């Protein structure tokens, strides 16, 4: 096994964020879209080597896990969400790890990347996070299916932005991908991007419902061409959510788009990432495929909640040498 040597100071949270231009989009290039292919067997072989080939230990592992925390969109998207639950989650976002552990790690200012909620909960999250610098992300456009009337989907974005959401996670119409109607997907994404105004937009592809990795590659390109600031795997509500093969396809689409346009687009795997060791694999994949610049929360996020609890357990082990029970690290 190889120790992935990224210096602690470059991975740890608390670094000033380097701003970069938003994705302005480009004209739909159908030749590029239709030329996108995916060699499934080669992709799966590449991904199968990642967990065993890359490992980090001791202070390096602690630093990478701290970086993972800073890239989490701490999320609650349940039917029984209440203002109180959201406010407690926001408190956890502002202090994601116990104060004594943060002091021992030398990371007193560590926070999560954002808090993600339904539209109805946006005002409560905005109030709870005021002055923290942590943005509120709202899921929108008829999340998770994206099948509500089109004018209502656009209006929902506008209302979430008006309520204070700085990031909008939209869901695309899967039928456009499944029927190959790339022009319709492009126009839809452009409308959603325009409705977001200054708020960053993350395009959720719902990759578990797109059928093939080739469709994932093409949908990724179309959404970026239409101005998506991030592309995201899943809503977390599908039967298959984030996977390494899907991530590799989307990451390489991001790399190709950056090489052609010079514009960086972010990536967000969501759903099913609940273990600290899994977060390390995803960070390694980002580093190898896109480089260190994509290890910052302005270009990489985890859509997760339970992941934070397991990372906190691992950090306590690093500090104390002993594992604690999961109930000691409640989300709220």
List residues with catalytic annotation. 169, 232, 268
- Number of residues that this document lists for the chain: 332
Identify the CA nearest to 232 among candidates 143, 134, 158. 143
Segments of the chain assigned E as strands: 2-3, 54-55, 72-75, 114-117, 136-139, 167-171, 200-204, 230-232, 266-268, 302-304
- Nearest-angstrom CA–CA distance, 220 and 214: 10
- The DSSP result for 40-62, as a single string, is HHHHHHHHHHHHHHEE--HHHHH
Return the closest-CA partner of residue 4 out of 41, 59, 42. Answer: 59
Which strand (E) or helix (H) includes residue 192? Answer: helix 182-196
β-strands 136-139, 114-117: how paired? Answer: parallel
> How many other C-beta atoms lie within 10 A of the C-beta of residue 179?
11
């Amino acid at each position: 096994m190889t120790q992935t040597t990224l210096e602690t100071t470059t991975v740890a949270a608390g670094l000033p964020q380097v701003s970069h231009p938003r994705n302005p989009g480009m004209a739909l290039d159908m030749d590029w879209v239709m030329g996108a292919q995916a060699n499934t067997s080669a992709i799966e072989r590449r991904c199968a080597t990642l967990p065993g080939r890359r490992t980090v230990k001791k202070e390096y592992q602690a630093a990478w896990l701290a970086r993972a925390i800073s890239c989490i969109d701490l999320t609650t998207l349940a039917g029984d969400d209440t203002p109180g639950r959201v406010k407690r989650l926001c408190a956890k976002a502002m202090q994601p790890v116990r104060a004594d552990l943060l002091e021992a790690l030398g990371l007193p200012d560590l926070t999560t990347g954002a808090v993600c909620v339904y539209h109805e909960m946006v005002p409560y999250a905005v109030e709870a996070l005021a002055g923290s610098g942590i943005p509120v992300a709202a899921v929108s456009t008829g999340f998770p299916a994206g099948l509500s009337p089109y004018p209502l989907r656009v209006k929902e974005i506008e209302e979430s932005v008006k309520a204070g959401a700085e990031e909008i996670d939209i869901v695309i119409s899967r039928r456009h991908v499944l029927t190959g109607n790339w022009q319709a997907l492009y126009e839809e994404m452009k409308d959603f991007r325009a409705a977001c105004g200054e708020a960053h937009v993350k395009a959720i592809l719902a990759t578990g419902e797109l059928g093939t990795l080739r469709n994932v590659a093409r949908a990724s390109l179309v959404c970026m061409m239409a101005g998506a600031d991030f592309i995201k795997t899943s809503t977390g509500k599908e039967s298959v959510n984030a996977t390494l093969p899907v991530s590799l396809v989307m990451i390489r689409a991001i790399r190709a788009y950056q090489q052609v346009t010079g514009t960086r687009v972010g990536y967000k795997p969501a759903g099913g990432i609940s273990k600290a060791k899994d977060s390390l694999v995803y960070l390694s994949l980002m580093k190898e495929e896109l480089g260190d610049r994509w290890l910052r929360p302005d270009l990489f996020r985890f859509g997760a909640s339970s992941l934070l609890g397991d990372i906190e357990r691992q950090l306590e082990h690093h500090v104390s040498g002993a594992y604690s029970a999961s109930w000691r690290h409640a989300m709220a």
